[in-house]
Amino acid sequence: MTPERFARGMTFDDYVKFTGSPENLAREGFDIRRFSLVRPRVDWSGFLRERHAKAQLTGEQSAAIRWLAAQPGGPAKIAVVAEDWSSDCRRDVPYLARLAEAGGLELRIFTRDGETMLRKGLPDPAAGGNADLVVEYANEKNGQKWASVPVAVFFSRDFVELYRYVEYPAIYHKDRVIGHLRAARAGETEEQSRARGGRDIATLLDSPFFDVWAQAGIAEILSALHERLVASAPA
């Protein structure tokens, strides 16, 4: 990451405005409630504004990010690769914005996809848009690289990478939970299973656990940054 590349990202406010723009809504997206591609996209801009307005860090979390930011080589900038169709992004990005505000960090958001949604693998880094960042900050899981979102990369003022948060907190076993909700029940047709699974997932996304996992993500980030600064300091 360079200062020039970082500056090309969107602030949180700009990102929310972009989310509701005709340019963004015309792009292909994904609706986890139906588990299908959608075009035009669902307009999540109002949801993101409301979620940001309601998102609150604890006093301890606010104090922790201020302390971290005040340390030599502490976090000063956050680059986030995100897509509004992703429920993980809708869960975490407003909280990341609150974290940046509390610590006086500069936040910039970059979209992952082009006109169509990246279905698998990684894009050609020369493809334009933000493909270079998608490749640079790819998620390595089970021996493969994935273009997971969100990815939040924390940098010092001099753009030394300090920590990379990817997709969801470790305490949330998403693949198992979503896999169970989507699994066919006895006697269901494929269509019934898809519809019921979509309803169950929608219920999950409206549940208190959405915020439990957002708070867990913030705690995970703060703990990792603390470990990086303290454990790497000279004894």
Write the DSSP symbol of residue 10.
B
Residue 158 backbone class (left: φ over 0; alpha: ψ -120 to 50; beta: rest): alpha
Return phi, psi of residue 66, to 5°: -65, -40
Number of Cβ within a 10 Å radius of residue 160: 12
For the record, the structure tokens of 73 come out as 């080589």
pLDDT of res. 66: 99
Digits of tens for pLDDT over the chain (235 positions)?
Answer: 999 999 999 999 999 999 999 999 999 999 988 888 999 999 999 999 999 999 999 999 999 999 999 999 999 999 999 999 999 999 999 999 999 999 999 999 999 999 999 988 899 998 889 999 999 999 998 888 999 999 999 999 999 999 999 999 999 999 999 999 999 999 999 999 999 999 999 999 999 999 999 999 999 999 999 999 999 866 5
Q: Where are the alpha helices (DSSP H) in 39-136?
A: 45-54, 59-70, 87-103, 131-136
User: What pTM was estimated for this model as a whole?
Assistant: 0.95
Domain residue ranges in the chain: 3-229
In CATH, the architecture of 3-229 is: 3-Layer(aba) Sandwich (3.40)
For the record, the structure tokens of 38 come out as 């959608």
Displacement of CA 72 from its chain's centroid (Å): 27
